[in-house]
Amino acid sequence: MRSLSAAARRRVCVVGVLVGLALSGCASGPSPASGPVPPPVGGGLDYQLGGAYDPPAGVDIVVRDSTDEPAAGLYSVCYLNGFQTQPADSQRILEDSPELILTAGGGPVRDENWPDELLFDTGNAGKRTALAALLLPLLTNCATSGFDAVEIDNLDSYTRSAGLLTAEDNVAFARILVAAAHDEGLAIGQKNAADLAEPLAELFDFAVAEECDRWQECGLYRAAYGDRVLAIEYTDDLRVDFAAVCAVPDRPRSMILRDRDLVVTGAPGYVYQRC
């Protein structure tokens, strides 16, 4: 879950990525039709990264952290932090595998909005291979736990790397993760990074878009992924009221409003609304 500064939201040039993907053929791995099954189109969505609970009536798709169990009988998406450390793992990875952490000025590069998260160094093939060895067991765990799909967070970490990483670096690592997810029978979703949606729609199976209405990016996801977009807006930073968001004719079909902390039902501050 991201709450980005204005600087971090700034558009980046992706012409090189577009050309590179066009030349290399970005459709590596089986298509959803022949392999992993993407989320049901227009299915009711719930986003439960703050803890698992019984979903509201009408929900078909549930996103939960990889440490939780999938929602029984519902299409379940497993959340993994693929391009930055999880806060609980940051110190351990920094001590055990410091070469995998992006550094600058003698220290690790941190996400300015989530300073307990350290950026992974995707800057060369060797680093990406080592990172894959760290993360692929987590993908396997998502599959063996019974999840149907996975979303990989922080694809856009290069925008927070002070120029040390490029979009191409992260796309190259994303290719490894997509192939691994497909090998496990999991569909995989592009998380945020709207500017990369068009070239990556042939690689990923669906998109997970946080605050696409707030930042007026929903059209980028829809143009690339059609109806295969899961969209989440947050109560603390709406562009317009949620009823107006839902009234937009070409909005993503699976769209919800949640509280920023994604607390469980019954907890103070819990909000869940669905278009």
Cα torsion angle, 180, 133, 225, 53, sign = positive
> What does the pLDDT read at residue 11?
33
Q: Is it the case that residue 10 has pLDDT exceeding 80? A: no
Alpha-carbon distances of 131 from 35, 83, 270, rounded to whole Å = 25, 9, 35
State the Cα–Cα distance between residues 221 and 195, nearest whole angstrom: 9
According to CATH, the superfamily of the domain at 11-274 is Aldolase class I (3.20.20.70)
Query: What does the pLDDT look like over 135-145, one tens digit per residue?
Result: 999 999 999 99
Average pLDDT for 232-244: 98
pTM of the model: 0.87
Cα torsion angle, 222, 226, 232, 235, sign = positive
Residue 128 confidence class, pLDDT cut points 50, 70, 90:
very high
Contact in structure between 210 and 3 (CB atoms under 8 Å): no
Q: Is it the case that residue 8 has pLDDT exceeding 90? A: no
Query: What does the pLDDT look like over 67-118, one tens digit per residue?
Result: 999 999 999 999 999 999 999 999 999 999 999 999 999 999 999 989 999 9
> What does the pLDDT read at residue 34?
56
Q: Which one, of 194, 196, 195, lies nearest residue 173 by Cα?
A: 196
Partners of 231 in beta bridges: 209, 255
Give the pairing of strands 206-210 and 272-274: unpaired
Q: For the chain, what is the mean pLDDT? A: 90
Question: Which residues neighbour 205 within 8 Å (Cβ) at sequence distance 6 or greater?
Answer: 32, 36, 38, 149, 187, 188, 189, 228
CA 159-160-165 angle, to 5 degrees, is 65
Cα torsion angle, 92, 98, 104, 106, sign = positive
> What does the pLDDT read at residue 3?
41
Give the pairing of strands 206-210 and 254-258: unpaired
> Can you state the percent helix, strand and coil of the chain, rounding each to 5?
35, 20, 45
State the Cα–Cα distance between residues 30 and 231, nearest whole angstrom: 24
85: Cα separation from own chain's centroid: 14
Q: Residue 47 in 3-state DSSP?
A: strand
Q: Residue 229 in 3-state DSSP?
A: strand
Q: Is it the case that residue 33 has pLDDT exceeding 90? A: no
